[in-house]
Chains A and B, each alone.
Chain A
């Protein structure tokens, strides 16, 4: 059986704290959770109330922020779904209200309902990082984050960092170092690397290797990505700069 257990591996809970751009152990919000609670297979068809109840029971050892729960007309208090409900998200500084089923993941809300397709669906279970967005400045796997769970949070997608005409410093460093081939992992990597630099403005090659293991590339662009992160760190405009 194939194995590479020596490599850094994610916590796969996929909650907002599913970031591997930062050292999870050092973050008080990221105490380990007991289960892959936000996998869609688990949630599929379930109303949000049952999820919240299970999460409350099983995630007692971590800080889970209370989220305002939307209500379906005529439903019992605190119970929403399984039909469509209004969900309001703050994305790239703009409030967006959607009518979606509670089971819709943030990634699918972005891609399927808002045409924000920079974040990609690849592994669909918090392994590869192609879906990485920022929530309150932290890198998060949007494929395993329920959209309804991140109401009231500040969501930033790759579209919020810049455009092809006005590249963010990290995107520009990716271009300069050809840290992209097919490019399908690239937006997720740019988001993870941006969050990493926010956290660690003076990265070393060893440090970034340890911290960026939560994103995977198939074409093999890691050499360019390492150089891109170091270049972006050097570039003075990269320091804390977001478009």
Chain B
């Protein structure tokens, strides 16, 4: 990379170190104000009346009783009479009242009559669902799978599946809206501050309210979790702005917990019957998969199977099942955890049939991973060491007693190329520095990373820089999805800070009797490169600016980043074969993402993704009831998440140094959440000797797989 401009390893003060997140004190003291926490003078509370039916036509809406209730200030219809709703929980009417309790009562008092229509909510295969609910989206053939299977010496066949889960963001979706003349301010809980104005321009336009994008001010200083579900204004955002307009008052409308779990994001299910064949020495030769999944009312895209390992002969079919469960939303690494489970599950079953240690099996075939084969080799070595795999691993189902231990592994990949961002770095004559960027920090550490890159570039301590983001008045930056933010904003910040520094160096050079190209910013000084004795402290250097600040601008720069990561994870579990309870003993996550800006927040991504993966591997499922069309567990006691006692020991490792740093920045948020489901499922299979086909690995499913009468 000729244009590589990150500082070399021996000349980094901050990049690649363990640095505490800069907004940590605000978060851990409760001072941080999330959108949900914004209270405005005269603010009203909004609540919504929603459909109890999975599919129905609205025949009558009567809001008169609600409007007559004390404290009710405004009502807006979202779906009018005569139109259909397509999932239970769909928003129909929004009301605003002067207290939250009164708004809730008023929403309950809205009378809506329905004509019920046919629906499908169950996670049902295409044959059972019937033609009207199915859509074949892929039937791909590569090489000659039929012939390859004939030549295969060992063939393994199995079923693998993962149900619909939801995002369960702790801060529910929603916003506070406030009009001031023609200007609308939205404190949104969003992953895309810079893109959100267009959502309101479009959504309000459909409701007959004309507004220009430059009249929409969007603020998201802190965000309580999105995981891919918070990009749109959504019906509640538009209705909230309408209520504000109608009442002339600010309105806060955040989803109730049950509503959040019902409608604000369904990760598609994926189920497959897989046949995979290899030679006796483990060389993969053929793959055949018939895959289906429920995607909500719309269906698009299809999985890429097999995953990571590009088997030479493949047949892969995919059929989407359309359901009335609410729209699918991107869930951290869309499709990848499902593909990883299906593919890595099938590979582990094949390795077991070959009597091979899965590590040996993967290494035998790792060249099928293409360009990143070397990364996987490095990561297998590191993960095996951290798990102590060689001494712990045993062939399937061995071990005495009723409580069995097992090991499993999984590999994954992700792109993670940085998205477009614009950044502005301002150096003031008093030496203070601000970095302005229309990005957002979802908790991934974006603020901290921008601070590190600015400070590193200007030779300053972290505290010498103020980072301003989470507001669309700053230069536009892409939405935070697909692991694109930290990589992108790191490069635009680097460019902007370098541009601002160059202007400063031009002002300072004469006083050091040299030219700007001979100067560098390091350790709080501007100094002659290689001669620290010729230097001027930062503040004095900035004073030479007189009264005018200098501003550098930068855009995401491909020369400073790349894409494509690997990742290896290993799990150790204990399974009680009498109760079916799966307990995490240890989980190892080894991950690359090119140049790591902040090791501490990067490691937190690995810890967090591992735990999120434990959640969907063992606990999470959105349970739909075909009889009523409703979700049975839209709450946090029956929509299970792992607690602090459920995670076992977690060991993480970020690959760094030669071979990684020179790739520049690459995204990290998605990849580590991909593998836990497969690694844990494989560990359970290794422990008990049989595959539990479906996640989550609940006691009933484990007992059913053991032939002990479970109901799965």
Contact = CB atoms under 8 A, between A and B. Distances in A.
Interface string B607-631: 1111110010011110100000000
Nearest to A222: B644
Given A7-B646, A118-B30, A130-B170, A223 B638 contact: no
Interface residues of A, number: 75
B636 A213 contact: no
B224 A180 contact: no
A130 to B, nearest CB: 6
Contacts of B700: 1, 3
Interface string A152-191: 0000011101111101100110111011111111110010
A127 B618 contact: no
Interface stretch (B98-106, B358-366, B535-543, B546-554): B98-106
Contacts of A119: 30
Nearest to A168: B29
A218 B612 contact: yes
B635 A125 contact: yes
A108 B590 CA distance: 43
A212 interface: yes
A13 interface: no
A104 B104 CA distance: 12
A117 B224 CA distance: 13
A103 B101 contact: yes
Contacts of B607: 220-224
Interface string B584-623: 0000000000000000110110011111100100111101
Contact of B581 (A6, A172, A216, A226): A6
A224 B604 contact: yes
A218 B644 contact: no
A180 B605 CA distance: 11
Interface residues of B, number: 77
Given A2-B621, A158-B30, A220-B609, A184 B171 contact: yes
A63 interface: no
B644 A212 contact: yes
Given A2-B619, A120-B224, A183-B32, A127 B25 contact: no
Contacts of A40: 101
Nearest to B621: A2
A216 B610 contact: no
B573 to A, nearest CB: 14
A235 interface: no
A194 to B, nearest CB: 11
B608 A181 contact: yes
A164 to B, nearest CB: 4
Main secondary structure of the interface of A (DSSP, over half): loop
B633 to A, nearest CB: 7
A206 to B, nearest CB: 9
Contacts of B644: 208-209, 212-213, 215, 217, 222, 225-226
B111 interface: no
A111 B171 CA distance: 14
B650 interface: yes
B99, B101, B172 pick with most chain A CB within 10 angstroms: B101
B623 A2 contact: yes
Contacts, number: 223
Contacts of A6: 579, 581, 583
Contacts of A124: 256-257
Contacts of A149: none
A185 B28 CA distance: 9
A218 to B, nearest CB: 5
Interface string A86-127: 000000000000001101100010011001011111111101
Nearest to A178: B604
A221 B604 contact: yes
Contact of A182 (B171, B579, B583): B171
Given A218-B641, A219-B443, A171 B29 contact: yes
A234 interface: no
Nearest to A10: B637
Contact of A186 (B28, B615, B619): B28
Contacts of B222: 182-183
A128 B636 contact: yes
A216 B223 CA distance: 17
A75 interface: no
Contacts of B618: 4
Interface stretch (B33-41, B83-91, B402-410): B33-41
Nearest to B25: A164
B36 A127 contact: no
Contacts of B601: 178
A34 interface: no
B645 A120 contact: no
A84 to B, nearest CB: 9
B610 A182 contact: no
Given A111-B37, A125-B257, A209-B644, A164 B608 contact: no
Contact of B27 (A1, A8, A168, A180): A180
A54 B549 CA distance: 68
B693 to A, nearest CB: 16
A8 B641 CA distance: 12
A118 B39 CA distance: 13
A188 to B, nearest CB: 9
Contacts of A158: 29-30
A123 B444 CA distance: 23
A107 B180 CA distance: 30
A112 B104 CA distance: 14
Contacts of B416: none
Given A2-B620, A121-B36, A218-B612, A183 B645 contact: no
A12 interface: yes
A242 interface: no
A183 B636 contact: no
A56 interface: no
B21 interface: yes
Contacts of B94: none
A216 B25 contact: no
A213 B25 contact: no
Kindly list the 10 A-B residue pairs having the minimum CB-CB distance in the complex, ordered from nearest.
A118-B30, A220-B611, A220-B608, A183-B27, A184-B224, A182-B443, A158-B30, A117-B37, A181-B443, A175-B24
Interface of A: 1-4, 6-9, 12, 40, 44-45, 100-101, 103-104, 108, 111-112, 115, 117-125, 127-128, 130, 157-159, 161-165, 167-168, 171-172, 174-176, 178-187, 190, 208-210, 212-213, 215-226
Given A7-B645, A172-B28, A222-B642, 19 more contacts: A2-B619, A4-B618, A7-B643, A8-B645, A108-B100, A111-B37, A118-B31, A121-B36, A123-B635, A125-B637, A175-B28, A178-B20, A180-B443, A181-B443, A185-B170, A187-B30, A212-B645, A217-B170, A220-B607
16 contacts: A6-B581, A7-B643, A9-B637, A44-B101, A104-B101, A112-B100, A120-B34, A128-B636, A130-B170, A180-B24, A182-B225, A185-B170, A210-B645, A213-B644, A223-B611, A225-B644
Interface of B: 20-21, 23-34, 36-37, 39, 45, 99-101, 104-105, 168-172, 222-225, 227, 254, 256-257, 442-444, 579, 581, 583, 600-601, 603-604, 607-612, 615, 618-621, 623, 633, 635-647, 650, 696, 698-700
